[in-house]
Chains A and B, each alone.
Chain A
């Protein structure tokens, strides 16, 4: 199981994947908004989405686990 952590504090602007979806490395899986800027968060490796721990509008801190992969 691999975790995708937030690299920055911010608010979740969009979640672009669903549980069970196969994503490729480098794919933008989520967009954060921080200091009025949209920041794309990419999957570091390919994998299948196991859980999504953040919803649109949630505030996340640096290091928070956003998505886990099987």
Chain B
């Protein structure tokens, strides 16, 4: 593998370039009008304007990107996360053009991209799934009937959904009725597919996922778990590994289920099996992400592996760099913080120009930043502008180190959640490690109440 096209932008494009440089692989970047001044465009060996700023006219232009890849004679395409990373049609078109797609087989992407279909696959593979409907719901009457069988509260979800979009909690029939049509409409406009289904809502649950990796020789390993329960708007904000408050016995069972899930679809390359875990450490399959995750550095920190390097090697037809599960271990504790350009109180986006970006003076931290000072954060893309990854010998020390970082780090020009992190790291619920996906919302509510007292 000599030359790779990166079909993405921002921090992840930059991240992929880094590993390619290390392996002496040339990189081809693509960018939209809005992104021409971002660092990844300069850092790639070659960079091409792919179109105007809206994603439909740039980063989602399947045929234009494939055409460029052919013209530039690249050996492979790395899709990053989001955009075309879970687009089976894109993977197939790349392969048809004789270009390696750095990810799983197109059929796997297709199978796992359909939430209803992936639930059925997991049931067959004896992986526990959240109780819910086994097929799509066409009418509100059918939905109401299914919901009363499952029992409220329930989650109404788009089968093709993802990224926290296309799902809503319904506590009763009235709410279900209110959201049924709008969820279908939204699913259609975001994902081009309006199939919806229901799952039981699991109270006080955690989101714990397992990183898995497979090669084309049938080797499959797991790289341990990440707890991603600190969320806002159903999107992750802090991720950590190992997961606190999670007994070893349950952990082992979770890894076994993740491996079974991966084997059920002959998984190749990097993937993540997401589970919802209840208060008794009982877990249920949620979905499988057939790509590199935003939070992959957490796993890199505790295992010491470069996951992008693994991806490139597996795509090039090599075996997994480490294929014996017993040879893989974790060290210390890692935390990742996603820095969002948004109002920390309302979570509304805050586009603008970054006038200052300072990460403080704490040594030995990892920063993955998509922007530099004077770069513009535009309204066209995700509000995540960078990530801070902290690794220490244990959880307490990692939290302590993170507090030091966020006490001095400064981003100016756009609003961010840096100060929110600084405050939240003091929350007893987070510090104790016993927390669910509602931890951030509940803590913010508490803060507001204290202010109004």
For B54, B165, B233, B379, which residue has the most chain A Cβ atoms within 10 angstroms? B379
The digit string for B370-414, where 1 denotes a CB below 8 A from any CB of A, is 000000001111110000000000000000000000000000000
Rounded to whole angstroms, the CA-CA distance of A11 and B378 in the bound complex is 12
Q: How far is the CA of A37 from the CA of B341 in the complex (A)?
A: 12
Pairwise interchain contact A36-B341, C-beta atoms closer than 8 A: no
| Residues of chain B contacted by A11 (CB below 8 angstroms) | 54, 379
Contacts of B381 in A (CB 8 A): 35-36
A35, B54: Cβ atoms closer than 8 Å:
no
Indicate with 1 or 0, residue by residue over A7-47, a CB within 8 angstroms of chain B CB atoms.
Answer: 01111000000000000000000000011110100000000
A17 to chain B, nearest CB (A): 17
Closest A-chain residue to B384, C-beta based?
A35
B48 located at the interface, meaning its Cβ lies under 8 Å from any Cβ of chain A in the complex: no
Smallest beta-carbon distance A58→chain B, Å = 11
Contacts of B383 in A (CB 8 A): 35-37
- Which bracket fits the contact residues of A? 10 to 19
- A60 nearest in chain B by CB position: B379
Of listed A11, A35, A39, residue having the most chain B CB within 10 A: A35
The answer on a CB contact under 8 Å between B54 and A34 is: no
The answer for the CA separation of A43 and B347 in the assembled complex, in Å, is: 21
- Least CB separation from B186: chain A residue: A38
Query: Shortest CB–CB separation between residue B90 and chain A, in angstroms?
Result: 19
Q: Is the Cβ of B351 less than 8 Å from the Cβ of A9? A: yes
B151 within 8 A of A: no
Instruction: Classify chain B: how many residues form its interface, as a range.
Output: 10 to 19
CB-based contact A37/B351 at 8 Å: no
List B contacts of A8 (CB < 8 A).
348-349, 351, 379
Question: Are B382 and A36 touching (Cβ within 8 A)?
Answer: yes
A-contacting residues, B39-92, CB 8 Å:
54
**Interface residue SS majority, chain A:** strand
User: How far apart sit A1 and B381, CA to CA, in the bound complex (Å)?
Assistant: 35
| B341: contacting residue among A9, A10, A35, A39, CB under 8 A | A35
Contacts of B341 in A (CB 8 A): 35
Residue on B nearest A7 in the bound complex, by CB: B348
* CA of A37 to CA of B342, assembled, Å: 11
Residues of A within 8 A of B54 (CB): 11, 59
CA distance A9 to B382 in the complex (A): 14
A37, B163: Cβ atoms closer than 8 Å: no
Partner of A9, one of B165, B347, B348, B379: B379
Quick one: closest B residue to A13, CB to CB? B189
Chain B residues with CB under 8 Å of A59's CB are: 54
Task: Please tell me if the beta carbons of B351 and A35 are within 8 angstroms of each other in the complex.
Answer: yes
Nearest to B82 among chain A residues (CB) is: A36
Between B163, B165, B348, B378, the greatest number of chain A beta carbons within 10 A of the residue's beta carbon is seen for: B348
Q: How far is the CA of A35 from the CA of B382 in the complex (A)?
A: 5
A29→B63 CA distance, assembly (Å): 37
Roughly how many angstroms separate A15 CA and B50 CA in the complex, as a whole number? 30
CA distance A59 to B233 in the complex (A): 24
A9 to chain B, nearest CB (A): 4
Within the complex, the shortest CB–CB distance from B345 to chain A, in Å, comes to 15
In the bound assembly, the distance between CA atoms of A9 and B341 in angstroms comes to 14
Question: In whole angstroms, how far apart are the Cα atoms of A36 and B349 in the complex?
Answer: 9
By a beta-carbon cutoff of 8 Å, the part of chain A in contact with chain B is 8-11, 34-37, 39, 59
The 9 closest A-B CB pairs, nearest first, are A35-B349, A34-B379, A35-B383, A9-B379, A34-B349, A10-B379, A36-B382, A35-B379, A9-B351
Q: List 17 A-B contacts (CB under 8 A).
A: A8-B349, A9-B379, A10-B379, A11-B379, A34-B349, A34-B351, A34-B379, A35-B351, A35-B379, A35-B380, A35-B382, A35-B383, A36-B381, A36-B382, A36-B383, A37-B233, A37-B383
